[in-house]
Amino acid sequence: MHEELPIEGPDRSAMEGTSHEQRPALIPGTLYLVATPIGNLEDITLRALRTLKQCDVVAAEDTRRTGQLLKHFGISKPLLSYFQFNEARRSEQLLERLQRGEKVALVTDAGSPGISDPGERVVRAAIQAGLRVEAVPGPSALISALTASGLATEEFHFIGFLPHKSGQRRKELERLRSYAGTLAVYESPYRIEKLLAELQDLFPERLIVLARELTKKFEQFQRGTPAQLLEELKRKPARGEYVVLIAGASGQ
């Protein structure tokens, strides 16, 4: 999910918690999938910072945004754009770098690469080529929203972004009506009311949780039926991308 990069954040001294000798070196020829903050810069991990400092190149969904993140933490690295429309060409270039023994860090604008963001293609290609892939876990809008939602967490189904076309969206939602666990969807502020109207038709009695601005100053959770949330949004439209959680058919 794409979120604004906040100005505030931790002091760079957070990077100095471990001596250089104690930090394991990165492994040559490895693709590192580095999770980055979804809003609050304090959520970046020490391991992510070390990986970004030690890698040879950073492949980024948006080099300007990633450049701001690196600058904030005093890190200077070559940046290579890697996004939806150049994935095929860039994947080949990244594989060539990895085969030469370079250490490549892949990041998206926010959260973990490959989760509703670019990354899946190069990971699959690297594995098929016999190269090493390592995840550097961290912030996740999905998990942050789910754990604080109050809905069932022992079983859930993550859909990501639903299709834009109404017919395809409805077909997908109808397919999931009988699912017992919690459903999780990402949605933009421009389509949230449309989605709630569809949920009102298909899931009128289900509890819905809307989570937005996660980890930021104005983090917000809204809970209610689709009709209640629609009425609330009409009174006070909100900005920012949403994680939409739908109680399962079991009613939990």
Q: What is the CATH number of the domain that holds 165?
A: 3.30.950.10
Sheet of 208-212, strands arranged across:
156-161, 182-187, 242-246, 208-212, 220-224
Residue 180 lies in a domain: yes
Instruction: For residue 7, tell me if it sits in a domain.
Output: no
The residue segments making up the domain with residue 161 are: 141-246
Domain end, chosen from 108, 136, 164, is at: 136
Same-domain check for residues 86 and 172? no
**For residues 100-113, average pLDDT:** 96
Residue 15 DSSP label: G
> Do 109 and 194 reside in the same domain of the chain?
no
What is the count of structural domains for the chain? Answer: 2
Q: What is the CATH number of the domain that holds 31?
A: 3.40.1010.10
Closest CA to 142 of 154, 158, 155: 158
Residues 92 and 147 placed together within one structural domain of the fold: no
Domain boundary residue, one of 136, 152, 172? 136
| Closest-CA residue to 233 (of 184, 183, 186, 191) | 191
CA distances from 113 to 32, 105, 106, 140, 252 (A): 10, 10, 7, 10, 30
Tally of CB atoms within 10 A around 91: 20
Choose between 97 and 251: higher pLDDT.
Answer: 97
The candidate with the shortest Cα–Cα distance to 131, out of 92, 167, 164, is 92
Strand ranges (DSSP E) for 48-194? 57-60, 79-81, 104-107, 132-136, 156-161, 182-187
My answer on whether 85 and 110 are in the same domain is yes
My answer on whether 121 and 27 are in the same domain is yes
| C-alpha to C-alpha distance for 150 and 135, rounded to whole angstroms | 28
Residue 208 CA to residue 195 CA, distance in Å, equals 11
Both 29 and 52 in one domain: the answer is yes
- Note whether residue 6 is domain-resident: no
Q: Are residues 147 and 219 in the same domain?
A: yes
**CB-based contact 184:115 (threshold 8 Å):** no
Let me know if residue 99 belongs to a domain.
yes
Q: Is the pLDDT of residue 22 over 70?
A: no
Average pLDDT over residues 74-92: 92
- Domain boundary residue, one of 111, 136, 161: 136
| 251 part of a folded domain | no
Are 124 and 159 found together in one domain?
no
Q: What is the pLDDT of residues 135-170, one digit of tens each?
A: 999 999 999 999 999 999 999 999 999 999 989 999
pLDDT at 1: 54
pLDDT single digits (tens) 107-120 = 999 999 999 888 99
b/e burial code for range 192-215 (CB count within 10 A of at least 16 → b) = beebbebbbeebeebbbbbbbbbb
- What is the per-residue pLDDT for 8? 44
pLDDT at 18: 45
* Domain identity same for 153 and 190: yes
Lookup: tokens for 47:
């391991």
- Whether 164 is covered by a domain: the verdict is yes
The whole-angstrom separation of Cα 13 and Cα 140 is: 24
Tokens of 104: 């490549």
Same domain, 147 and 130: no
The number of beta carbons lying within 10 Å of the beta carbon of residue 129 is 10
Q: Are residues 77 and 166 in the same domain?
A: no
pTM for the full predicted model: 0.87
Q: Do 21 and 95 belong together in one domain?
A: yes
Q: From CA 212, how far away is CA 189, in angstroms rounded?
A: 10
Residues 215-238 have pLDDT tens digits of 999 999 999 999 999 999 988 877
